[in-house]
Structure 1
Amino acid sequence: MSSSPSSSWYDTLTSTPVLIATAVGVSFAAIFAASSSSSKTPQQVKEQVKEIKNAAVNAGDAKGKAAQTGASIMSAPATDLAPPKDDPISASDLAQYDGSDPSKPIYIAIKGRVFDVTAKPEMYGQGRGYNVFAGKDASKGLGMSSLDIKDAVPDYSSLNESQMNTLNQWESFFEKRYNIVGKVVP
């Protein structure tokens, strides 16, 4: 199968929106169907998904490692979550849990609810891809699929319907995997 370099499965797989979509549980097939040009047939999409699976199994090359990384984001839902807490946490207190101090947990808030993501330092720890969200309510950035620090803010009132769906998917993803340790208060 030939494709231009800008539309290869590798480029699609390693793009920020795809990594975020993968984290919220959107299937690779849906990602390719949405991101590929409308001229792709369902069979071509299936072939791309098969390539990804093969690359992830044979992770010896760079493409395989990228595919494996994308797939590893898809952690299974936790079976041992504690009951949600609603302890009040101020924004300034939340900021102290940004992953910069290894003796403290890492927190991310979504829609005012604070999640303990300490178990995934490879994702949210200092210098990692999603650390931009650590120590803050990053609702808007999550909804926008943006890793830009200026978007990692709690006010998500400007999100459109599609972005709200993305934010809701993130919230659902976090609810199934991370303990809720409090809520952000003024």
Structure 2
Amino acid sequence: MLELQTLVIYGLALAIPAVYIAYRQLYGSSQAPTLTTQDTAPKPQKSIMQSTRDDLAPPKDDPFTLEQLKAYDGSTPGKPIYVAIKGTIFDVSHKADVYGAGRSYNIFAGKDGSKGLGMSSLDPENAVPDYTGLDEKDRKVLDDWHGFFSKRYNIVGKVVDPEAAPASSL
């Protein structure tokens, strides 16, 4: 019986690190990649984020008011879903599983939620266009989101409400 317990303990001692390594290789890590004795350079981490697209249409600058933008919130089947960041409107329809009605990021659909994106907040009161109160770190996050969207979603227009665009973005 003692031998069986010893084997189980040794088995777990070997299995736990193997599972951890497999998990890190599959899902990546927020830490810097590590090198093995055979590697001379870090291996790129796999990402569950969608990759950049090279088939995006040329950007459009069709004008939308915030009121008009509300109609593209994912609640009408077959109608596009739009998300605006810093006044730029992106068509996120191909990611309805993320931005569609009842989905995790629907809070930003049909509106300019720049402040909430900069704050990394899903609180409805923060999903507003005015991001003038964000600190430097949150503005960097917001800029990163704008860059992320610009590489993955078609730009279909601009928000034209003067009060929606902070002076710093003009």
Q: Is 2:117 the counterpart of 1:146?
A: no
Q: Give CA deviations for 1:78-102 in whole Å, capped at 9, x if unaligned.
A: 1100111111011111000000001
Once residues 133 and 122 of structure 1 are traced to their aligned partners in structure 2, the CA distance between those partners, rounded to angstroms, is: 13
Structure 2: runs of 5 or more not aligned: 1-17, 28-46, 162-170
**Of 92, 105, 117, which aligns to 2:67?**
92
C-alpha deviation, 1:103, in angstroms: 1.8
Once residues 154 and 146 of structure 1 are traced to their aligned partners in structure 2, the CA distance between those partners, rounded to angstroms, is: 13
Match of 1:53 in 2: 24
The amino acid of 1:127's aligned partner reads G
Q: Is 2:149 the counterpart of 1:174?
A: yes
For this pair of structures, how many residues does the alignment match?
Answer: 127
Q: Is 2:94 the counterpart of 1:109?
A: no
Q: CA RMSD in A?
A: 2.3
Once residues 49 and 80 of structure 1 are traced to their aligned partners in structure 2, the CA distance between those partners, rounded to angstroms, is: 37
Q: TM-score, normalised by structure 2?
A: 0.69
Match of 1:159 in 2: 134
The amino acid of 1:53's aligned partner reads R
What SS is found at the alignment partner of 2:93? coil
Structure 1 pair 51–181 and aligned structure 2 pair: CA distance change class (3 A): same
The amino acid of 1:130's aligned partner reads Y
Once residues 90 and 20 of structure 2 are traced to their aligned partners in structure 1, the CA distance between those partners, rounded to angstroms, is: 32
Larger Rg: 2
Structure 1: runs of 5 or more not aligned: 1-46, 57-70
The amino acid of 2:68's aligned partner reads D
Structure ranking higher in helix proportion: 1
Match of 2:168 in 1: none
**Of 116, 122, 125, which aligns to 2:97?**
122
Structure 1 pair 175–55 and aligned structure 2 pair: CA distance change class (3 A): closer
Once residues 66 and 78 of structure 2 are traced to their aligned partners in structure 1, the CA distance between those partners, rounded to angstroms, is: 19
Once residues 20 and 73 of structure 2 are traced to their aligned partners in structure 1, the CA distance between those partners, rounded to angstroms, is: 35
